[in-house]
Amino acid sequence: MLIIKKLVLFLLFITFLLPAEEYLVTPTSRIITKLNVRDLPNGQIIGELHRGEYSELIEKIPFWYKVKLKSGKEGFVSKGYSKLVPLGSNSELKITYLHIGAGACAVVNCPASNKSILMDCGSWPGTVDSNFHHSEADISLKLKNIIGNNELSAVFSHGDIDHYNYVPFALANVQLKEIWLVGFSSFYTQKSFPKWLKDQQSGGSSYS
């Protein structure tokens, strides 16, 4: 029954990643690192769109696309350095499972919406795996490489520490968009997790 509940929750959270736009805008191969986003055509630079990132298409005008970045800012990018991508062609989710010892950790990326969800991240203290040195620093680096610049949210399936005890260190200085805890927050007793959760709320994360 617990496994079924986890699967249902996971599918619900995955649907959160799927964008609703019909077309997205992304830099072309002419861009090496980033594409400037301007307040007006030929105007001031107000943001940037990196290779592999996507923004929502708002409007097409001669020589420019009007776009909406994941930050909410709206601006213009040159058609000469960007292209339209049909939503369905790039909305495939990528799921990465991290081998972190005697625990669980998975990340779901949706390139089309620049969003990621972390599902659990922990391991039983004192466990040894000869195939993997699962230090918190290793996990932090792996997560940052997988998530990149994506907006991150997280779901924790229950309060056993092997599902969340790496989080306060591995996601230090990473502000999450939304956090879901299954069960009461009092179930999550690992000493640094309540402070991390409070700091996330103070930084603007929604929590349920």
State which H helix or E strand residue 123 sits in.
Answer: strand 115-123
Task: Give the pair of three-digit tokens for residue 7.
Answer: 């699967």
In the chain, the amino acid numbered 75 is: G
Please choose, from the candidates 99, 149, 113, the residue with its C-alpha nearest in 3D space to the C-alpha of residue 25: 113
pTM of the model: 0.60
What is the spatial distance between Cα 197 and Cα 174, in angstroms, rounded to a whole number? Answer: 12
Number of H helices, E strands in the chain: 4, 13
Tell me, which fold does domain 23-89 have in CATH?
A: SH3 type barrels. (2.30.30)
Residue 133: closest CA among 100, 161, 106, 165 = 100
Note the CATH number of domain 2-18+91-207: 3.60.15.10
Give me the residue spans of the domains in the chain: 2-18+91-207, 23-89
- Reading the chain (208 residues) residue by residue, the pLDDT tens digits are 444 455 455 555 555 555 544 788 999 988 888 999 999 999 999 999 998 888 989 999 999 999 999 888 999 999 999 999 877 555 567 888 887 777 788 898 877 677 889 999 888 875 555 555 567 788 888 888 888 888 899 999 888 888 888 899 888 888 999 999 888 878 888 878 989 999 999 998 888 7
- Which of 82, 44, 86, 47 is CA-nearest to residue 61? 82
What is the rounded end-to-end Cα distance, in angstroms, of the chain? 22
